[in-house]
Amino acid sequence: MTGKRHNGEGSIFPYRNGFAAYVWVTKPDGTRTRKYVYGQEREEVHAKWIKLHEEAKKGPVATKAMTVGKFAAYWLAEIVEPNLSPGSYSIYESASRLYIVPGLGNVRLDRLRPTDVQTWLNNAARACQCCTQGKDARRQLDKRRCCSLGRCCNNVLKQSSVAGLRRAIRAMLTSAIDSDMITKNVAKQTKLPTARKVRRTAWSSEEARRFLEQARSDDQRFYAAYVLILLLGLRKGEVLGLTWEQIDLGTAEVNIVLQLQRVGRRLLHREVKSESSEATLPLPQLALAALARHRELVADDLGEAPSGLLFTTRTGLPVEPRNFNRFWDRQIKRAGVKRITVHDARRTCATLLRDLNVHPRVAQQILRHAQVAITMEIYTEVTDEATRDALRKLGESLG
């Protein structure tokens, strides 16, 4: 093969042990410069040269190769943190720091392949996270119990957590496409096992009544919070973030606009998760009575809290969300009902509305679901009582 250039290949020239070529391109910052491609054979370089020409015609072209790790740092600082919620930033930052950067950080962004991401996801699903992240090694010597002692605890990620990692890297690569760093999202070509949907539980109206009756005498400080969760389907953060300014006992309404949220080391009192979550809801008589009683209790203890929050600690400080979970579980044990989470109480609210034949559209407004399909998913679930009643009727018809 000679070094003679073919027609239309004025930018292709011999280079070291092969050939090189360049194309004038516009960089993402608007300036123009040459970008080079290399190869052992002229035909190979010519194909790369043609491809680079096509990319240059479509728009800006990145001239410097950036690694996944460097782009992840840029993505978190310039795209995620200024534009998404603190909770979303915390999730993406953890995924990047603990998994994406250690596993793929040294790979060039433009050379990342679907097989790289697939292998990374598979390894994350198989690896003991206690060993990989050195959790046991960081414990005090007398408290080490597994990996550092040669006894792997097999602390692997749940399928839902692995799916969360794929969502994180897909979001990052989508931003890389928008920034003209790459042309396709290779994470979309990966596969994960279909995760089995966790069956959520809810209380019957009788169980909810037993719980509230027990709480009214045992846990006066949070009784009103339990009522609002079960009757209006408020989220835990929304209840703990309620202020007296949001409550109007005269018109019997509550305005849902704020939430209390733990994000890393910060306890934030901020707006609710989305505009669809904002609403003004009517207060049923039971909720009105509970709130009036709660106001008297708070006034007797320490007056109105400086923060204006309805529910505080005995010293007037915001309630830690995890501590509220403990209060909830303790009250369940005292009431003798089956254990459900605070979030499952929203499902209980939906179940009670369904049993009262409330229209799904009305239930959607009360629960503030973004889509009625979410409400209908709960409404179409068949209760155990309904199943037993159907089987009893079938048996009677056959008997």
Separation of alpha carbons 56 and 68, rounded Å: 23
What lies within 8 Å, CB to CB, of 209 at 6+ separation is none
Q: What is the pLDDT of residue 4?
A: 52
Mean pLDDT of the chain: 82
Q: What is the pLDDT of residue 2?
A: 47
| Domain carrying residue 73 | 68-189
Residues 183 and 220 in one domain: no
Separation of alpha carbons 352 and 370, rounded Å: 20
Residues 167 and 291 in one domain: no
Do the domain assignments include residue 195? Answer: no
Residues 311 and 260 in one domain: yes
Amino acid at 184: K
Average pLDDT over residues 119-138: 87
Residues 156 and 277 in one domain: no
pLDDT surpasses 50 at 1: no
Q: What is the pLDDT of residue 118?
A: 96
Residues 131 and 217 in one domain: no
Which DSSP string do the residues of 109-163 spell out, in sequence order? GGG--HHHHHHHHHHHHHS-HHHHTTTTTTS-GGG--SGGGT-----PPPHHHHH
Band of the pLDDT at 357, cuts 50, 70, 90? Answer: low
Which residues are bridge partners to 22 per DSSP? 36
Count: domains in the chain: 3
Q: Say how many residues make up the chain.
A: 399
Do the domain assignments include residue 311? Answer: yes
Q: What is the pLDDT of residue 356?
A: 67
Residues 212 and 338 in one domain: yes
Q: What is the pLDDT of residue 375?
A: 65
Band of the pLDDT at 328, cuts 50, 70, 90? Answer: very high
pLDDT surpasses 80 at 383: no
Q: Do residues 319 and 311 make contact, with C-beta atoms less than 8 angstroms apart? A: yes
Residues 115 and 29 in one domain: no
Do the domain assignments include residue 398? Answer: no
Higher per-residue pLDDT: 197 or 74: 74
Residue 23 token pair: 């194309």
Instruction: Record the pTM.
Output: 0.70
Q: What is the pLDDT of residue 265?
A: 82
- Least confident piece of the model among 113-122, 188-197, 231-240: 188-197
Do the domain assignments include residue 3? Answer: no
- Three-state SS string over 286-336 comes to HHHHHHHHHHHHHHHHCCCCCCCECCECCCCCECCHHHHHHHHHHHHHHHC
Residues 213 and 162 in one domain: no
Band of the pLDDT at 379, cuts 50, 70, 90? Answer: low
Q: What is the pLDDT of residue 241?
A: 92
Residue 19 token pair: 């050939």
Do the domain assignments include residue 197? Answer: no
Do the domain assignments include residue 6? Answer: no
Do the domain assignments include residue 109? Answer: yes
- Least confident piece of the model among 119-123, 152-156, 265-269, 363-367: 363-367
Residues 369 and 255 in one domain: yes
At 36, give phi and psi (nearest 5°). Answer: -105, 150
Separation of alpha carbons 332 and 319, rounded Å: 19
Q: In terms of Cα–Cα distance, which of 347, 342, 316 is closest to 331? A: 342
Judging by DSSP bridges, how do beta strands 258-263 and 253-256 pair with one another? unpaired
CA terminus-to-terminus distance, the chain: 92
Q: What is the pLDDT of residue 102?
A: 93
Do the domain assignments include residue 348? Answer: yes
